[in-house]
Structure 1
């Protein structure tokens, strides 16, 4: 599975390609397969995302999980306090990072 990620141009937030647009939540991300690079170029050219790149991921019952620790951390949100994660009420929010 391949995911497309980057940063939202106005806010700098980590965003994930859903297949039709961008989401701040990795579980909304869709498999881009071999089409990731062309989508990234088009979206960056339209100034909807900055620094887009394709990553490897695995599918889980809760949605895709980035294969690399760097992208797992990016998907979770800030690491300084678990209450600042994208889903602070989720008791398992930090359990899959490492």
Structure 2
């Protein structure tokens, strides 16, 4: 499974391609397959994302899980305090990072 990620141009937030647009939540991400490189170029050219790149991921019942620790950390959100993550009410928010 391949996911397309990058940063939102106005805010700098980490975003994930959903198949129809962008989301701040990795569980919304869609497999881009072989067309990921062309999609990354088109989205960057349209100035909807900055620094897009493809990553490997595995499909889980909870949604896609980035294969590399760097991208798992990016998916979770800030690493300073768990109450600053994208899901602060989730008691398991940080449990899948490592």
Same fold (TM over 0.5): yes
Give deviations 1:24-48, integer Å, cap 9, x for gaps.
0000000001111000000000000
SS at match of 2:83: helix
CA distance in structure 2 between the partners assigned to 1:66 and 1:30 by the alignment = 12
Gaps of 5+ in 2: none
Count of aligned pairs between the two proteins: 98
Partners of 2:31 and 2:49 in 1: how far apart?
18
TM-score under structure 2 length normalisation: 0.99
Unaligned runs of 5+ in 1: none
Once the two structures are TM-superposed, the CA of residue 22 in structure 1 deviates from its matched residue by 0.2
Structure 2 counterpart of 1:30: 30
- What SS does the aligned partner of 1:88 have? coil
TM-score, normalised via structure 1 length: 0.99
SS at match of 1:70: helix
Show the counterpart of 1:61.
Answer: 61
Partner of 1:80: 80
